[in-house]
Amino acid sequence: MKNPFEKRNNNVALIALGITGAAAAAAIAYLYLTDNGNSTRDKISDSVSKEVDKLAKSFGSTFKDLAASFISEKANLSKSAANAVADHVG
Protein backbone atom coordinates (compact mmCIF):
# COMPACT_ATOMS: atom_id res chain seq x y z
CA MET A 1 0.00 0.00 0.00
CA LYS A 2 1.26 3.48 -0.90
CA ASN A 3 1.87 6.00 1.85
CA PRO A 4 -0.51 8.96 1.24
CA PHE A 5 1.70 11.28 3.32
CA GLU A 6 4.87 10.67 1.35
CA LYS A 7 6.13 13.80 -0.37
CA ARG A 8 6.42 13.39 -4.12
CA ASN A 9 8.68 15.29 -6.47
CA ASN A 10 6.54 17.43 -8.74
CA ASN A 11 8.64 18.97 -11.49
CA VAL A 12 5.79 20.56 -13.46
CA ALA A 13 6.44 24.02 -11.98
CA LEU A 14 10.16 23.73 -12.71
CA ILE A 15 9.51 22.74 -16.33
CA ALA A 16 7.00 25.59 -16.78
CA LEU A 17 9.51 28.04 -15.32
CA GLY A 18 12.18 26.82 -17.73
CA ILE A 19 9.89 27.17 -20.76
CA THR A 20 8.79 30.65 -19.66
CA GLY A 21 12.39 31.73 -19.13
CA ALA A 22 13.41 30.43 -22.55
CA ALA A 23 10.54 32.30 -24.21
CA ALA A 24 11.45 35.53 -22.39
CA ALA A 25 15.11 35.15 -23.39
CA ALA A 26 14.11 34.59 -27.02
CA ALA A 27 11.89 37.70 -27.01
CA ILE A 28 14.65 39.84 -25.50
CA ALA A 29 17.19 38.50 -27.98
CA TYR A 30 14.84 39.30 -30.87
CA LEU A 31 14.19 42.84 -29.62
CA TYR A 32 17.84 43.69 -29.01
CA LEU A 33 19.77 41.66 -31.57
CA THR A 34 17.81 42.07 -34.82
CA ASP A 35 17.00 45.07 -37.01
CA ASN A 36 13.29 44.24 -37.04
CA GLY A 37 13.40 43.96 -33.25
CA ASN A 38 15.01 47.39 -33.07
CA SER A 39 12.16 49.00 -35.01
CA THR A 40 9.60 47.05 -32.99
CA ARG A 41 11.23 48.23 -29.77
CA ASP A 42 11.07 51.84 -31.00
CA LYS A 43 7.37 51.48 -31.82
CA ILE A 44 6.67 49.98 -28.39
CA SER A 45 8.64 52.77 -26.72
CA ASP A 46 6.70 55.48 -28.59
CA SER A 47 3.38 53.87 -27.77
CA VAL A 48 4.21 53.49 -24.09
CA SER A 49 5.48 57.07 -23.79
CA LYS A 50 2.24 58.41 -25.34
CA GLU A 51 0.15 56.43 -22.85
CA VAL A 52 2.30 57.60 -19.93
CA ASP A 53 1.87 61.21 -21.06
CA LYS A 54 -1.92 60.75 -21.17
CA LEU A 55 -1.91 59.31 -17.66
CA ALA A 56 0.33 62.09 -16.36
CA LYS A 57 -2.02 64.75 -17.73
CA SER A 58 -5.02 62.98 -16.23
CA PHE A 59 -3.40 62.58 -12.82
CA GLY A 60 -2.06 66.14 -12.98
CA SER A 61 -5.49 67.67 -13.50
CA THR A 62 -7.00 65.44 -10.81
CA PHE A 63 -4.23 66.43 -8.40
CA LYS A 64 -4.77 70.12 -9.15
CA ASP A 65 -8.50 69.77 -8.46
CA LEU A 66 -7.83 68.01 -5.16
CA ALA A 67 -5.22 70.60 -4.17
CA ALA A 68 -7.61 73.45 -5.03
CA SER A 69 -10.38 71.89 -2.94
CA PHE A 70 -8.03 71.37 0.00
CA ILE A 71 -6.65 74.93 -0.20
CA SER A 72 -10.13 76.39 -0.56
CA GLU A 73 -11.39 74.47 2.46
CA LYS A 74 -8.44 75.05 4.79
CA ALA A 75 -7.56 78.65 3.87
CA ASN A 76 -11.09 80.00 3.41
CA LEU A 77 -10.33 81.11 -0.14
CA SER A 78 -12.67 81.16 -3.09
CA LYS A 79 -12.49 78.22 -5.47
CA SER A 80 -11.04 80.42 -8.27
CA ALA A 81 -8.25 81.73 -6.02
CA ALA A 82 -7.50 78.20 -4.86
CA ASN A 83 -7.36 77.05 -8.50
CA ALA A 84 -4.83 79.79 -9.25
CA VAL A 85 -2.68 78.68 -6.32
CA ALA A 86 -2.97 75.03 -7.33
CA ASP A 87 -1.98 75.88 -10.93
CA HIS A 88 1.07 77.73 -9.65
CA VAL A 89 2.06 74.89 -7.33
CA GLY A 90 1.35 72.12 -9.84
Structure pTM?
0.46
Separation of alpha carbons 50 and 69, rounded Å: 29
Distant-in-sequence, close-in-space partners of 67: CB < 8 Å, separation ≥ 6: 82, 85, 86, 89, 90
pLDDT of the chain, 90 residues: tens digit per residue: 677 777 777 788 889 999 999 999 999 999 999 999 999 999 988 888 998 888 888 887 787 788 778 777 888 878 778 777 777 765
Residues 6+ apart with CB under 8 A from 85: 67, 68, 71, 77
